[in-house]
Amino acid sequence: MNAEPVIRVDNLTKRFGRQVAVDNVSFQVPARCVFALLGENGAGKSTLIKILLGLVDPDAGSTAILGHDSQFNGLAIRQAIGYVPDSPSLYEWMTVAEIGWFTAGFFPDGFQQHYNELVAGYGLGPAKKLKQLSKGMRAKVALALALAHRPDVLVLDEPTSGLDSLVRREFLESMVDFAGDGRTVFLSSHQIHEVERVADVVAILREGRMLAMERLDELKSKASELIVTRHESSIEPLRLPGSYLTRQVQGRQERIVVCGWSEDQLAELASSDQVSVLDTRSLSLDEIFVA
């Protein structure tokens, strides 16, 4: 994880009229990992990806993939990486085999053979017309096209949107294998509970702003929910020894989501005259995201 980052985003800003789609965002994606960019629909994820690929120019800041500046070397980036958008555009009148043969003309030798191997591994009939395929099968064709030239970086923009649960699971698990081969996956999604199963590093984007970026295991180890039961005689608001993400009060009980509290802070709260019982609970990525 200490190798030279394969993706850099520096002070990136993009506006559409008065709407700020990406607001001064900076981060780096390390090599050989599954990096998940999480956010609700409209958070700015797709805009950021289009800037990374050189399809949209930023208003401020810069981005780069594999050392190529996105604004000036977009073609080199798109030739070097694999990319699967949320709704892949495919020539529906072609067969599975024909679209592989057609796309091979844009890449070096070896594309066709590897594409055929991927298609066979995904259980896709080469003679099937694309218009006859389910959405899940079409997604696998798009993934095979993106992987056939053996890219070092794979960019996925909401790749499992609209797919059934079994296909989504297969799709995401294949990303773990891809990263396990020493390559990098950049995955944009709002399917938090599924991303949790495959991501090494997560970043949370909301209304164009980066709220957090951390290794998933470290983020989950830092976040917890405190269930505080107060003495019945406690009247004053509970004093907390640190900052918190969310806080809900129901009678004598408070539920507080904290991140990065030390053992000393927890001990200080537990020993407070106002506190009768203090319990802690680990949180899922989905719960951390909501908080």
68, two tokens? 């190529």
Ramachandran region of residue 170, left (φ > 0), alpha (ψ -120 to 50) or beta?
A: alpha
Specify whether 67 is located in the same domain as 189.
yes
228 and 210 assigned to the same domain:
no
Q: Is position 87 within any domain?
A: yes
CB 168 within 8 A of CB 120: no
70 and 190 co-located in one domain: yes
Residue 132 and residue 18 in one domain: yes
Shared-domain flag, residues 169 and 108: yes
Per-residue pLDDT at 1? 46
Same domain? 61 vs 164: yes
Q: For residues 129 and 148, what is the distance between their CA atoms, to the nearest angstrom?
A: 20
Q: Are residues 231 and 170 in the same domain?
A: no
Do the domain assignments include residue 2? no
User: What is the C-alpha to C-alpha distance for residues 178 and 173, in angstroms, rounded to an integer?
Assistant: 9
Is position 1 within any domain? no
Domain membership of residue 171 (yes or no) is yes
From 138, 136, 172, select the one nearest 156 (Cα to Cα). Answer: 172
Angstrom distances, CA of residue 36 to CA of 55, 155, 259: 21, 10, 20
90 & 107 share domain: yes
Q: What is the pLDDT of residue 167?
A: 74
223-230 and 253-259 strand pairing:
antiparallel
The CATH number covering residue 44 comes to: 3.40.50.300
Which residues fall within 8 angstroms of residue 118, CB to CB, at 6 or more apart?
143, 144, 147, 148
Please name which of 282, 183, 273 lies closest in space to residue 223, comparing C-alpha atoms: 282
pLDDT value at position 190?
83
Instruction: Point out the residues of the chain with pLDDT beneath 50.
Output: 1-2
pLDDT reported for residue 9 = 97
Domain that holds residue 20: 7-216
155-207 pLDDT, tens digit each: 999 877 666 777 777 777 888 888 888 899 999 988 888 788 889 999 999 99
Q: How many domains does the chain have?
A: 2
DSSP string, 105-153: TTS-TTHHHHHHHHHHHTT--TTSBGGGS-HHHHHHHHHHHHHTT--SE
Question: Are both 22 and 111 inside the same structural domain?
Answer: yes
Asked if residue 119 and residue 187 are part of one domain, the reply reads: yes
Domain end, chosen from 194, 216, 238, is at 216
Do 169 and 245 fall within a single domain? Answer: no
For residue 3, what pLDDT is reported? 62
Does one domain contain both 55 and 197?
yes
69 within a domain of the structure (yes/no): yes
CATH number for position 242: 3.30.70
Query: Which of 151, 183, 216 marks a domain boundary?
Result: 216
